[in-house]
Chains A and B, each alone.
Chain A
């Protein structure tokens, strides 16, 4: 398996622009997580899905952020409009129900810079 695949790896955009980050989880995994990492706040959970349904989105910072999972093999995290404080590395992770539910496999991350 190729692991969790995220795109783009790097994104530089200007304030006010829409940003879409993409994630392909490991085939067969039924949990998908979006995390954000900054120097100031560390790793923060934004939202997670189970069987494509959002379970907990309490970590989504504000209405400018939205996440979808239209099917088991794809998820997006969208920021509209983007702001400089959104600059961070965004990680997607997936896991499988059962004893491994909290054994997350992370992607390589998408580094976002908002100018």
Chain B
């Protein structure tokens, strides 16, 4: 699986959009980008995933560049409860089979009041 690079930490003001970048320059054509987060002392939580197109759900938006070498997770209106470590993961997900998800060190997002 392709390696990802994320900034170790970011701050965001409450109510503002949080934009979390991820670099995955070695991604292959059939690898998906997944985002998970882990709030302190809890298990990781799935947020969103995508292949090529931008994706949006009730939690966040995922913007993938045209060359697929980087992506941005957007939390449109960050709240204090969004303070967590955010993991960007690249993984194959073909034929409906699960693949190993390798969690790196992620980005610690702190939402400030």
Q: Which residues of A contact B (CB under 8 A)?
A: 4, 31, 33, 35, 42-43, 45, 48, 50, 56, 91, 93, 95, 97-99, 101-109
User: Which of B93, B98, B103 touches A48 (beta carbons < 8 Å)?
Assistant: B98
Q: Are A103 and B49 in contact (CB under 8 A)?
A: yes
B contacts with A: majority SS = loop
Partner-binding segment picked from B11-19, B39-47, B58-66: B39-47
User: Which of B43, B91, B100, B101 touches A108 (beta carbons < 8 Å)?
Assistant: B43
A residues in contact with B44, CB < 8 Å: 43, 91, 93, 104, 106
Given contact pairs A95-B98, A101-B93, A102-B93, A42 touches B104 in the complex (Cβ within 8 A): yes
Tally of A-B Cβ pairs under 8 angstroms = 56
A contacts with B: majority SS = strand
Complex CA distance for A99 and B32, rounded to whole angstroms = 11
Q: Are B96 and A104 in contact (CB under 8 A)?
A: no
Q: Are A102 and B34 in contact (CB under 8 A)?
A: yes
